[in-house]
Chain A
Amino acid sequence: MKPGYEQIYKRPETLLPKRMHYCPGCFHSTIHKIIMEIVEEWDIQDKVIGVCPVGCSVFAYDYLDIDMQEAAHGRAAAVATGIKRMLPDKIVFSYQGDGDLAAIGTAETIHACNRGENFTFIFINNGIYGMTGGQMAPTTLEGQKTTTSPYGREPATTGMPIKMSELVSQLISVAYVERVSCNTPANTRKAKRAIEKAFKIQMKGLGTTFIEVVSNCPSNWKCTPEESLEWIKEKALPYFPLGVFKEPAKEEVE
């Protein structure tokens, strides 16, 4: 460190010193970093248990220095339910992509929310199946080209992209729903605050907490990371607006 300077930002030590396998510019890494910043700042390494999905972030446990379980495709909500019910004093989160949470695992998602399971969903919505090679997701935008919608998603036969935050916020037992993104520094800061708030609400036992992150996939969107931010701003956010859909009263959280 140069003399006369102080360190004000560093990689959290709870994020293991490994090179993550994600493509350049992928928000998976950003979200991993944010979660681990919270774990480090709050000193809750012994309290947090995470559940990995199937998809690109299937290897999240390689990087996060906390106890983790790997779930079958779509079943992370059921697995997280099992953990949280056995260890109610821990902070449990499931980390799931759109195929995982909103296609193959929709039933598990909806019913965990409906029971008010007291864990945090971190839902990474990038509108595409990353690991399997860029196929259509339930959240793929109208007209968006993927390897299984090569001429663009056709709503007449595939429906419209599913809005999970709007959907789960209708369920009475859900305590907190917010949609965030990491496409700008301000939004990334907000995303971190949302996850912090979700953990806080979880610790209070107020019900299900659900954070949707509008994410990117430069490799399968076939663009540069910079262009992926443009796509989010121009195409994704008008359809998936950011904001709080549901939250408990302030005095309940504090």
Chain B
Amino acid sequence: MPAKGYVEISIETCKGCNLCVIHCPTKCLALNTSDTNSYGLHYAYMVDEDECIACQNCAIMCPDAAITVFKKVS
């Protein structure tokens, strides 16, 4: 079954603060600790694309407005 939602995270805008990751209720986000953006910072990404419920918590917590949220059209 396709996920209820998904997010796009701007790698260059992300500062790796991790606030989105810890507030994701379905744990579908993670910090990419094996890569950095051009500022030398780890960035958040969707680690589990099936679990997103489009709750927007990540985007609301993201200080840098790096996250766009999409919801499945019902």
The answer to whether any beta carbons of A and B sit under 8 Å apart in the complex is yes
Interface residues of A (CB under 8 A from B): 1-2, 4-12, 15, 19-20, 22-30, 33, 182, 184-185, 188-189, 218, 224-226, 229
* Chain A residues in 8 Å Cβ range of B22: 226, 229
B71 lies within 8 A of A5 (CB): yes
Q: Is the CB of A24 within 8 A of B15?
A: yes
Q: B70 — which chain A residues lie within 8 A by C-beta?
A: 1-2, 5-8
Once the chains are docked, how many angstroms separate the CA of A72 from the CA of B5?
Answer: 46
Q: Which residues of A contact B61 (CB under 8 A)?
A: 30, 182, 184-185, 188
Q: Would you call A19 and B12 a contact (CB within 8 A)?
A: yes
- 21 A-B pairs (CB sep. < 8 Å): A4-B2, A5-B70, A6-B70, A6-B73, A8-B71, A9-B56, A9-B67, A12-B65, A15-B65, A20-B63, A20-B64, A24-B15, A24-B41, A30-B63, A33-B63, A33-B65, A185-B23, A185-B60, A224-B18, A225-B17, A225-B19
Asked if B36 is at the interface (CB within 8 A of a chain A CB), the reply is no
Would you give the shortest CB distance from A1 to chain B, in whole angstroms? 6
The answer for the CA separation of A2 and B55 in the assembled complex, in Å, is 17
Tell me if B57 is interfacial: C-beta within 8 Å of chain A: yes
Q: Which residues of B pack against A, CB within 8 Å?
A: 2, 5-6, 12-13, 15-19, 22-23, 39, 41, 54-57, 59-73
Residues of B within 8 A of A225 (CB): 17-19
Complex contact A5–B63 (CB within 8 A): no
Judged by DSSP, the binding face of B is loop
Output the nearest chain A residue to B5 by Cβ-Cβ distance: A5
Chain B residues near A11 (CB-CB < 8 A): 65-66, 68
- A21 to chain B: closest CB distance in Å? 11
**A23: B residues at CB distance < 8 A:** 15
The residue in chain B whose Cβ has the minimal distance to the Cβ of A11 is: B65
A19 & B13 in contact (Cβ 8 Å cutoff): yes
CA distance A97 to B60 in the complex (A): 22
Task: Give the chain B neighbours of A229 by CB distance below 8 A.
Answer: 19, 22
Structural contact, A185 and B2, CB atoms closer than 8 A: no
B34 to chain A, nearest CB (A): 18
Q: A2-B70, A225-B18 are in contact. List 7 more A-B contacts (CB 8 A).
A: A5-B6, A9-B56, A9-B69, A19-B13, A24-B16, A33-B65, A185-B23
